[in-house]
């Protein structure tokens, strides 16, 4: 897959430069800046995942306040490969939560030995084997808190489906690198420097993909960027290729809804004009 171009010359093209478990580096070309930026924003904020949304504390004698610990639990990335099987809470017919729109977690740990007992996210017990805290290899997950002898934590959590537009905990991305025109041929950037731009603003690896314009050549003020460089790093809840594909699908659905609304509006205007027309004699 690495290096292959997807798409014909008349449509946007995508070339994957590298991909692994948690990141994908690709080049999107033959498209406009608005489209590329829409894809970037959608990957960050509108791809759904599962995240802990409700926390009920039964007992907490640790040094962390309930609110502090609840916030940490919400930010624990959960495996969300089957997120499409769950409903949003607003679309579910249940009163509060159920298995169709949520996953329940429990955590009960008490330190009975001298010293410090570290509690990890992998100790959260899930009601759904497909939605569990993200781990890698022998990693025990995220450190939730530390207990001393006699301290105890006992709580119940509910994870729900959501998007990062509502809260950042639902974002599948840790970061999305985005760049175009690495040589600044279009002069969209005004660099601040003391002595030398090239020394103080080193080029990225993306500069190898494009030639640098002759500084003495006439400036083309009508030129627009058509090639964009992405580096998507996920938190592990979704595969990087799944993030890109789901973001593309979200954009398609939005554009489809917009097209239907415009068609409906045009049909309404046409019918109104017919009703206002002079009657036939």
pTM of the full structure: 0.85
pLDDT in tens, 23-69: 999 999 999 999 999 999 999 999 999 999 999 999 999 999 999 99
Checking if the pLDDT of 106 tops 80, the result is: yes
Mean pLDDT over residues 99-103, rounded?
A: 95
pLDDT in tens, 70-88: 999 999 999 999 999 999 9
Checking if the pLDDT of 281 tops 50, the result is: no
> What mean pLDDT value characterizes the chain?
91
Mean pLDDT over residues 134-158, rounded?
A: 94
Checking if the pLDDT of 6 tops 70, the result is: no
pLDDT in tens, 49-62: 999 999 999 999 99
pLDDT in tens, 150-190: 999 999 999 999 999 999 999 999 999 999 999 999 989 89
Out of 8-17, 103-112, 174-183, 205-214, least confident range: 8-17
Mean pLDDT over residues 185-200, rounded?
A: 90
Residue 126 zone, left/alpha/beta (φ > 0; ψ -120 to 50; rest): beta
The confidence score (pLDDT) of residue 244 equals 96
The confidence score (pLDDT) of residue 272 equals 66
Q: How confident is the model at residue 204 (pLDDT cuts 50, 70, 90)?
A: very high
Checking if the pLDDT of 279 tops 50, the result is: yes
Structure-model confidence comparison of residues 102 and 267, the more confident one: 102
Three-class DSSP labels, the chain: CCCCEECCCCCCEEEEEEECCCEEEEEEECCCHHHHHHHHHHHHHCCCEEEEEEEEEEEECCCCCHHHHHHHHHCCCECCCCHHHCCCHHHCCCCCCCCCCEEEEEEEEECCCCCEEEEEHHHCEECCCCCCECCCCCCCCCEEEEEECCCEEEEEEEEEEECCCCCHHHCCEEEEEEEECCCCCCCCCCCCCCCCHHHHCCCCHHHHHCCCCCCCCCCCCCCCCCEEEEEEEECCCCCHHHHHHHHHHHHHHHHHHHHHHHHHHHHHHHHHHHHHCCCCC
pLDDT in tens, 251-275: 999 999 999 999 888 877 666 665 5
């Amino acid at each position: 897959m690495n290096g292959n171009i997807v798409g014909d010359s008349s449509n946007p093209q995508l070339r994957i430069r590298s991909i692994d478990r948690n990141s994908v580096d690709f080049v999107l070309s033959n498209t406009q800046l608005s489209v590329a930026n829409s894809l970037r924003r959608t990957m960050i904020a509108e791809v759904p995942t599962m995240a802990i949304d409700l926390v009920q504390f039964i007992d907490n004698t640790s040094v962390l306040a309930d609110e502090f610990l609840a916030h940490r639990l919400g930010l624990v990335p959960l495996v969300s490969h089957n997120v499409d099987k769950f409903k949003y809470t607003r679309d579910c017919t249940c009163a509060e939560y159920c298995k169709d729109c949520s996953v329940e977690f429990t955590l009960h740990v008490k330190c009975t030995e001298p010293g410090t007992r570290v509690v990890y996210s992998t100790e959260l017990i899930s009601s759904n084997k497909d939605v569990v805290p993200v781990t890698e290899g022998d990693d025990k997950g995220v450190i939730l808190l530390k207990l001393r002898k006699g301290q105890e934590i006992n709580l119940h959590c509910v994870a729900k489906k959501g998007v990062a537009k509502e809260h950042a905990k639902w974002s599948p991305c840790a970061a999305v690198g985005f760049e175009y025109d690495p040589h600044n041929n279009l002069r969209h950037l005004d660099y601040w420097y003391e002595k030398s731009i090239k020394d103080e603003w080193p080029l990225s690896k993306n500069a190898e993909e494009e030639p640098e314009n002759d500084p003495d050549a006439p400036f083309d003020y009508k030129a627009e960027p058509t090639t964009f460089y992405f580096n998507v790093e996920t938190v592990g809840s979704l595969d990087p290729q799944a993030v890109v594909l789901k973001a593309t699908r979200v954009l398609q659905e939005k554009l489809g809804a917009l097209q239907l609304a415009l068609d409906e509006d045009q049909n309404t205007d046409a019918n109104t004009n017919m009703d206002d027309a002079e009657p036939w004699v």
